Amino acid sequence: MTENNSDLKLSQPNDKLTYYGIRGLSDREIIRNLISSLSLEQDKQDNLIESIIKAFDRNLPIKPEMLSSIPGMNPKIVKLLLSSLELGRRWPARKSRQIRTPDDAYAEIRHYAQRPQEHLIVVALNGAHEIMFTQVVSIGTVNMTYAHPREIFADAVMARATGIILAHNHPSGVLMVSAEDASITKRVISCGQLLGITVLDHIIITEHGHLSMKAKGIIP
């Protein structure tokens, strides 16, 4: 388990941006920065941000018609969101993001820890353990989520990934592996062996840290 070792309390997005950089902002804060110039009423802005986050979690790739269908959306916000996504695609980090440790994986997915329901996440990797894509495959209740192995591996097979990392958030903040977590993980590992895709780890995440099933010996 790794704990967030920062005791700094920064409540304002601009303060967090200065101290941590853009990656230190939550998903909500990033989206709020994008749409803040449109002068929406606070409650409408909050509702729209939540709807955008839910749409992004459930829909990959992001398409204009999907964004346009979100209640409260307008063409200006659609253009802003699509333009931001396209800039990120055209100018990614020069060095591919390589996962060497659970800490590396946590850095990529820790923003999902803020979700109020459990999200099951798949990080697909190539043979060099570089990230090919990250996706949410299931959204559950406040304390559990399920996904069939076919949903977990479907896009990884299409992308010819050689390995995946599973992760899910615990909204309760408790970093503990349940018997169900361990059982589902072993089932997914067996399916991955048949497909030739290695399940490298299953990581439980919260806003304050993470737990690696590999490090705990649950995954051989």
Q: Would you write out the chain's pLDDT as a tens digit for each of its 220 residues?
A: 443 434 444 455 556 665 566 777 788 888 988 888 777 888 888 999 989 988 888 766 788 998 999 988 989 899 989 998 888 777 665 556 889 999 999 998 998 998 888 999 999 999 999 999 899 999 887 666 778 899 999 999 999 999 999 999 999 999 999 999 999 999 999 999 999 999 999 999 998 999 999 999 999 8
| Alpha carbons 59 and 178: distance in angstroms, whole number | 28
Q: Reading across the β-sheet that carries 209-212, which strands appear in turn?
A: 2-3, 209-212, 198-206, 163-169, 119-125, 131-139
Residue 110: which of 220, 217, 218, 3 has the closest Cα?
3
Tell me what pLDDT residue 10 has.
Answer: 47
DSSP letter at 196 equals T
Would you give the distance in Å from CA 146 to the centre of its chain? Answer: 16
Structure tokens that stand for 119 in this block: 């999200």
Considering the entire predicted model, what is its pTM?
0.70
Tell me what pLDDT residue 144 has.
Answer: 67
Residues of the chain with CATH 3.40.140.10: 102-212
Give how far Cα 59 sits from Cα of 53, 67, 134, Å: 10, 10, 12
Tell me what pLDDT residue 14 has.
Answer: 59
Assigned architecture for domain 102-212: 3-Layer(aba) Sandwich (3.40)
Tell me what pLDDT residue 8 has.
Answer: 43
Phi (first) and psi of residue 124, to 5 degrees:
-95, 140
Q: How many CA atoms lie within 13 A of 136 on its CB side?
A: 23
Residue 204: which of 148, 124, 143, 135 has the closest Cα?
143
The amino acid occupying position 68 is S
Tell me what pLDDT residue 91 has.
Answer: 67
Tell me what pLDDT residue 24 has.
Answer: 75
| Alpha carbons 207 and 220: distance in angstroms, whole number | 26
